[in-house]
Amino acid sequence: MDSSINGFTGFGRRNPGFVSAKDAIRKAEIEAQATQHSPVQQARQTLAQAQAFTQGLGSAAGGAGAAARTAAHRSPALKFAAPVSSKDSGLSFDPDKLARIPEEDRRWSWVEVDLSAIRHNTQQVRARLAPGTRLMAVVKADAYGHGAVQVAKMALNSGADYLGVATIDEAIELREALIGAPILVLSQPPETAIPLLLGYKVMPSIYTADFAIAYAEAADAFGITAPFHLAVNTGMNRIGVRWDQVAEFMHQIGFHRALELVGTFTHFATADEAQTLDFQIQTKRFLEALSSLRMAGVDPGIVHAANSAAIIRFPDVHFDMVRLGISLYGYYPCPETLTMIDLRPAMSVYARITDVRTVPLSDGVSYGLHYRSRGASTKICTIPIGYADGLRRALSSRVRFLFNGGLMNQVGNICMDQCMFEVDPYARGLLSRAEPMIGDVVTIIGGDGDNVCTVESMCELLDTIPHEVCIAFGTSRMPRLYR
Ligand SMILES: *Cc1c(COP(=O)(O)O)cnc(C)c1O
């Protein structure tokens, strides 16, 4: 049999039945497109065909087996059915060894949390409280990005006695870490979450009678009590029973034997503002609410109102408990507090340089090419941190990073996963003449030499508060390391 085509017998000649990698890919793709079955069925069919190729040709010619494997890799249908475990794929990476590669060596950007700062800040606040006043550590939003379990444990260890969260799932995370301290959800969850509250022994804030009764009924059915804190609206108009209706509210729900009023609280809208009139109005209304409860024979339980700003500025409103949020993490809620307490920021953010180049004069950098190079004396360095990591895009070309002790301008638009900054080797403040290299550490938040990049300076650029900036870094996909 003449296997040549038109008499041509050069290197293009094939053995009968030979299937090249390209043929296998093409065949799989054509069949995947032609078959209108479900993707799973398509994948099974093409996989069966690929296996047939491999079995027919594999042992005789290793190349053909590889060809079929390549086909299995490239065909969109086959990808779906591709082996996922390293065992099946014939590779022998030890999963334990893979798991041991440290997080900061997988991607060169990370968040560091200094738990001794959490301890210091807790103690600083504790020292300002009258004996017997409780301290609630507010660890919502994964402890403002610092890690709820780690922060809660450290705070409880350093003088806090209560925990505050925003959602039932945040509370469950703490309970599952075997944290036994009282936990208050700082809002009223949906009624459908009531079994979770009871099951995990988490207290809700309550402000509707419907919720109160549903909660009490559920607790009663299990033969347990239904502890809660009453939220009072004194002017912020977010949640709570109006200050002049609390007695009436308690009267409405008071018939239920399971309900147990553990605490009564309000929240200040302006404790961090220079003018204190609104703060005073809220305080006055809260005091009215408390006395109306007492007059109605209701014990308000643990009375609490102060957030960080009020804790530091207004000892008069500490009552029976304070709710410490942002200052637990080392931030000053307002300029007035700067000289009133010694706080240490717990979070820092670092990256390592992943690329360095000189860019010809006037060449652009990053999306839009808005930044233009100042010429060959400056180096453009890339770091793997972007707006998906909390480095907000609005900081583009405005923020500065610390490298080798000096402040460097971030240049060009901040991308989703990366951004660039420039190093002028003669920049002032450098510890030594800077020759940036791949792998060098850059400080995004933190100190280096005499200089420091602060969350507060980012807040100024972004016109926001430290809460938002550290939550953005700390709850991003960056690894969080504890020091
Ligand atoms: C978040 C929150 C706090 C903590 O506020 P900071 O300003 O971060 O100290 C206190 N109370 C309530 C009700 C909160 O929602």
Percent of the chain surpassing pLDDT 90: 76
pLDDT, position 22? 61
Residue 61 has pLDDT above 90, yes or no: no
How remote is the C-alpha of 84 from its chain's centroid?
29
Residue 113 half-sphere exposure, CB side, CA atoms within 13 Å?
26
Q: Is 134 in the pocket of ligand 1 (CB under 6 A)?
A: no
The Cα-based distances of 390 to 141, 150, 412, 439 in angstroms read: 14, 21, 17, 21
Percent of the chain surpassing pLDDT 70: 80
Residue 59 has pLDDT above 50, yes or no: no
pLDDT, position 38? 52
Least confident of 12-21, 28-37, 210-219, 442-451: 12-21
Residue 78 has pLDDT above 90, yes or no: no
pLDDT, position 92? 81
Q: How far is the CA of 5 from the centre of ligand 1 (A)?
A: 81
pLDDT, position 329? 98
pLDDT digits (tens, 9 = 90+) for 309-362: 999 999 999 999 999 999 999 999 999 999 999 999 999 999 999 999 999 999
Q: Is 186 in the pocket of ligand 1 (CB under 6 A)?
A: yes
In degrees, to the nearest 5, what angle opens at C-alpha 97 toward C-alphas 92 and 100? 155
Arithmetic mean of pLDDT over the chain: 88
Mutate to test the pocket of ligand 1, among 307, 322, 459, 468 (most ligand atoms within 8 A of CB): 307
The Cα-based distances of 421 to 181, 312, 359, 364, 442 in angstroms read: 45, 38, 12, 13, 10
Q: Is 308 in the pocket of ligand 1 (CB under 6 A)?
A: yes
Whether 97 is catalytic is no
Protein residue whose Cα sits closest to atom 6 of ligand 1: 325
CA-based R_g, the chain, Å: 31
pLDDT digits (tens, 9 = 90+) for 182-203: 999 999 999 999 999 999 999 9
- How much is the average pLDDT of 288-307? 98
Residue 244 has pLDDT above 80, yes or no: yes
d(CA 435, CA 379): 8
Q: Is 285 in the pocket of ligand 1 (CB under 6 A)?
A: no
Task: Let me know: does 314 contact 284? Beta carbons within 8 Å.
Answer: no
d(CA 271, CA 282): 10
Helices 21-34 and 39-57 pack at an angle, to 10 degrees, of 150
pLDDT, position 174? 98
Residue 57 has pLDDT above 50, yes or no: no
d(CA 39, CA 76): 9
pLDDT digits (tens, 9 = 90+) for 125-152: 999 999 999 999 999 999 999 999 999 9
pLDDT, position 60? 39
pLDDT, position 62? 41
Give one DSSP letter per residue of 101-163, joined into a string: S-GGGTSSEEEEE-HHHHHHHHHHHHTTSPTT-EEEEE-HHHHHHT-HHHHHHHHHHTT--EE
d(CA 471, CA 39): 40
Whether 140 is catalytic is yes
pLDDT digits (tens, 9 = 90+) for 359-415: 999 999 999 999 999 888 889 999 999 999 999 999 999 999 999 989 999 999 999
pLDDT, position 25? 65
Residue 299 has pLDDT above 60, yes or no: yes
Q: How far is the CA of 101 from the centre of ligand 1 (A)?
A: 37
d(CA 226, CA 177): 23
- How much is the average pLDDT of 20-39? 60
d(CA 67, CA 84): 19
Confidence at 84, pLDDT banded by 50, 70, 90: low
User: Which pTM was predicted?
Assistant: 0.82
Q: Are strands 302-304 and 259-265 parallel, antiparallel or unpaired?
A: parallel
pLDDT, position 173? 98
pLDDT, position 435? 87
Q: Is 480 in the pocket of ligand 1 (CB under 6 A)?
A: no
To which H or E segment does residue 439 belong? Answer: none
Ligand 1 atom closest to the Cα of residue 327 is: 9
Closest CA to 139 of 110, 181, 99: 181
d(CA 78, CA 88): 15
Task: Let me know: does 13 contact 3? Beta carbons within 8 Å.
Answer: yes
